[in-house]
């Protein structure tokens, strides 16, 4: 499935591949690699509230700020919360980035091998084979409670809104 004109890169429209992940639906299980090159799935985070952020690359200024902000702010909310950043970066690059920047609360996953997450959540950019910037918040039952696909790839997400929704889900648990 292709979706056009949902996201732009420097003002130019790109095509997203995969079915759009929608509010209220159960999230599809996906597989990606962790920094140890081990396969991880959504079910690896069973019984956790999940903030999943897809980003084009950790080595860009907006992604750098985004992961640091969620590492600092969201991590304090609950021990029942998993913060997951997914990109097409190789696991080695993700590991280096996290070590260099002292990212400890966020789990980074690489979708580079199969683009499984990108296709199942509808954020794979056809023209670039990168992931669009998006935030998905899932409750403990893996129901999607929040979706934010950022319209311009180089723009940051709405941190305040995502954190507000996340706090409400944590409080309602």
Q: Any residues with CB less than 8 A from the CB of 61 and at least 6 apart, and which?
A: none
Cα–Cα distance for residue pair 107/45, rounded to 1 Å: 11
Six-digit token string for 133: 């910037």
**Pair 26, 141: CB distance under 8 Å:** yes
pLDDT value of residue 173: 62
**98 among known catalytic residues:** no
Residue 8's pLDDT band (cuts 50, 70, 90): very high
Answer whether residue 161 shows pLDDT above 90.
yes
Domains of the chain as residue ranges with CATH = 2-172 (3.40.30.10)
Find residue 86's DSSP bridge partners. Answer: 54, 109
Six-digit token string for 167: 């706090």
Q: From the CB of residue 79, how many other CB atoms can be counted at a distance below 10 Å?
A: 6
Q: How many residues are present in the chain? A: 173
Active-site option among 16, 63, 98, 163: 63
Answer whether residue 29 shows pLDDT above 80.
yes
| Mean pLDDT score, 37-58 | 96
pLDDT value of residue 117: 98
Q: How far, in whole angstroms, is CA 115 from its chain's centroid?
A: 13
Which DSSP state fits 155? Answer: S
pLDDT value of residue 136: 98
Mean per-residue pLDDT over the chain, rounded: 94
pLDDT value of residue 133: 97
> In this predicted model, what pLDDT tens digit does every residue of 120-147 receive, in sequence order?
999 999 999 999 999 999 999 999 999 9
> In this predicted model, what pLDDT tens digit does every residue of 104-115 receive, in sequence order?
899 999 999 999
């Amino acid at each position: 499935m292709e979706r056009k004109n949902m996201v732009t890169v420097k003002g130019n429209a790109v095509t997203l591949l995969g079915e759009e992940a929608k509010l209220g639906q159960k999230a599809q299980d996906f597989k990606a690699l962790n920094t140890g090159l081990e396969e991880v799935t959504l079910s690896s985070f069973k019984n956790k509230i999940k903030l999943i952020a897809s980003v084009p690359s950790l080595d860009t200024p907006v992604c750098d700020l985004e992961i640091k902000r969620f590492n600092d702010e969201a991590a304090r909310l609950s021990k029942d919360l998993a913060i997951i950043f997914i990109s097409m970066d190789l696991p080695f690059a993700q590991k280096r980035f996290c070590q260099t920047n002292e990212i400890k609360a966020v789990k980074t996953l690489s979708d580079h091998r199969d683009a499984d997450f990108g296709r199942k959540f509808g954020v794979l950019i056809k023209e670039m084979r990168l992931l669009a910037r998006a935030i998905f918040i899932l409750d403990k039952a893996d129901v999607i409670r929040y979706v934010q696909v950022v319209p311009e790839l180089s723009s940051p997400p709405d941190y305040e809104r995502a954190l507000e929704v996340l706090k409400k889900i944590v409080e309602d648990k």
